[in-house]
Amino acid sequence: MDPDALSKAFVEHYYTTFDTNRTGLANLYQESSMLTFEGQKIQGSQNIVNKLTSLPFQQCKHSITTVDCQPSGPAGGMLVFVSGNLQLAGEQHALKFSQMFHLMPTPQGSFYVYNDIFRLNYA
């Protein structure tokens, strides 16, 4: 699959899962996966999903503004760099965020998130 199409498909799947079934994100990470969320470092699928499901909001919607991708090296990985808006239920203004994913291939021909870094972009 063309890398740009693959990264867009991943991004759509990731944020739709985040916004509708946050625990479902567990399938996208493995034990070696790393998340840095607003400076806090977390490792492993279970710890990562615990962090994401315990964020202080129930409902949210991500809207993606830009998606850039590049191959990351001989291991077949893909870097995906996203910027967008995060609307929390009940809040008047959306938050702006940037996030980068490093996707690594699985033996079954899919991808999982090996590296994940999330930052809000304050005005």
**With b meaning 16 or more CB within 10 Å and e meaning fewer, what string describes 75-109?**
eebbbbebebebbbeeeeeebebebbbbbbeeeee
Q: Write the binding mask 5 to 44 for its own copies: x where contact by CB under 8 A, - elsewhere.
A: -----------------------------x-x--x-----
Residue 87 Cβ, how far from its own copies at the closest point, in Å? 16
Q: Which of 94, 95, 69 is nearest to 82 (CA)?
A: 69
Binding site for its own copies (CB under 8 A): 34, 36, 39, 66, 68, 70-75, 77, 79, 81, 83, 96, 98, 100, 102, 104, 114-115, 117, 119, 121, 123
